[in-house]
Copies of this chain bind each other. A is one copy, B any other.
Amino acid sequence: MSLIVQKFGGSSVSDAEGIKRVARRIIDTKSAGHDVVVVVSAMGDTTDELLDLAGQLTTKKAPAREMDMLLSAGERISMALLAMAIDGLGAKAASFTGSQAGMMTDAIHGKARVIEVSPKRVRRAIDRGFVAIVAGFQGMSKESRDITTMGRGGSDTTAVAMAAALGADVCEIYTDVDGIYTADPRVVPTARKIDTISSEEMLEMAASGAKILHLRCVEYARRFGVPLHVRSSFSTNEGTWVLPSPDDQIKIQEGEPLEQPIISGVAHDRSEAKVTVVGVPDIPGKAAHIFRVIAGAHANIDMIVQNVSRSDTGRTDISFTLPMVDGEAVKEALRSSQEEIGFQEISYNENVGKLSLIGAGMRSNPGVSFTFFEALHQAGVNVNMISTSEIRISIVTDADKLDDAVRAIHAAFDLDTDDEATVYGGTGR
């Protein structure tokens, strides 16, 4: 008997039929003898409807605390309905809000981070034979006791945090595709489903824009050693296992000892913008000052390039990428520190795309970067920024060249398969 955490997104529970299908799936797992904790997002359009209502009330930005209070109502509805559906099928179920489930976060409304998880009530429910249903995406500020929400991918993070705190055997992330692919199948129809991938590589994939799993969820899973199983809510096929340690990977592949492929996949991302701070005085502490200002705006920056200083002016340019949604806040924060930092101007470009090649095999394969840049060159793709880690190469190029670049790289590393993947829509919690 295992303890399994199952996470279902908003598109899986968008109506009564969807909720009933999810309920049956949960009961199948329970009937197979497992304990089940379910994490669920708000029903399909709930969030948009609530945001629309809020938008009708005032032209001012709504107070973040109240916005979290509003949005957190969505999971209450879906989780209570799911509990009723499970009960209707003859099993026992109890739903828990973020705060009831002990999801304690910091007080940054709209993008709160988990500080501590103490799922005592969830544990007690499981021990009494209940399916415990936990509201995804939401928690309670440890400091202010206010309701918080955790931003995009928050429900995945809730699921992994619950799995870690409960010592679950696996955290299953149900989605509308049947696993993680070597590239986005909408761009590369010949992309292959990955059977297993290490947390480390998955982390690079997620950070590089692969949408199925969010970065924070993978970080959390890796840190606490939670095996993730990303699979389709429309089939019972095995999906993609994301495994925290090489030992686990060997365990899973028992009886079928495959050579790890050199390259895991190609990820791309159109959600970032490129910012260049032009004419920064080339004296110690200026770069640190800039990044302190950005951190103050609660933005996560991604790639950073500092140009060679121009000896004639004693100034340099610093470029970085960051999520577009943080663009306005960062520009504003930088402008208000312009005099103090002493830079000349800010240039801002949303028309960029990022491509990343990920694979643990890169470490020992010197030919990878040659093949990579050669393929980009053949495809006529300009490279604006480059960043690398031991298991990743990323470049920034013009947005309209991104799809070509992805296909070229996918082909160059022999990732193509003959089967076409099925693709559905998806949601963001």
Q: Is the CB of A145 within 8 A of B100?
A: yes
- Nearest residue (CB) in B for A58 is B88
Q: Restricting to A63-102, which residues have a CB under 8 Å from any CB of B?
A: 63, 65-67, 69-70, 72-74, 76-77, 79-81, 83-85, 87-89, 93-95, 97, 100
Q: Is the CB of B79 within 8 A of A76?
A: no
Q: Does A20 contact B (CB under 8 A)?
A: yes
Q: Which of B16, B70, B95 contacts A80 (CB 8 A)?
A: B70
Q: Is the CB of A84 within 8 A of B63?
A: yes
Q: Does A308 contact B (CB under 8 A)?
A: no
> 1/0 per position for A39-79, CB-CB distance to B under 8 A?
00000000000100110111110110111011011101101
Given contacts A53-B81, A58-B87, A69-B95, 8 further A-B contacts (CB under 8 A): A57-B84, A57-B85, A58-B84, A58-B89, A60-B88, A69-B76, A69-B80, A70-B81
Q: How far is the CB of A70 from chain B (nearest CB, A)?
A: 4
Q: Is the CB of B84 within 8 A of A62?
A: yes
Q: How many copies does the complex hold?
A: 2
Complexed CA–CA distance, A276 and B20 (Å): 42
Q: How far is the CB of A198 from chain B (nearest CB, A)?
A: 39
Q: Does A134 contact B (CB under 8 A)?
A: no
- Nearest residue (CB) in B for A75 is B73
- Nearest residue (CB) in B for A57 is B85
Q: Is the CB of A63 within 8 A of B76?
A: no
Q: Restricting to A11-39, which residues have a CB under 8 Å from any CB of B?
A: 16, 19-20, 23
Instruction: Given A19-B57, A100-B145, check contact A67 B88 (CB 8 Å).
Output: no
A59 neighbours in B (Cβ, 8 Å)? 88
Complexed CA–CA distance, A65 and B88 (Å): 14
> 1/0 per position for A185-208, CB-CB distance to B under 8 A?
000000000000000000000000
Complexed CA–CA distance, A394 and B66 (Å): 48
A23 neighbours in B (Cβ, 8 Å)? 57
A95 neighbours in B (Cβ, 8 Å)? 66, 69
* Residue of A19, A56, A74, A145 with most partner-chain B CB within 10 A: A56
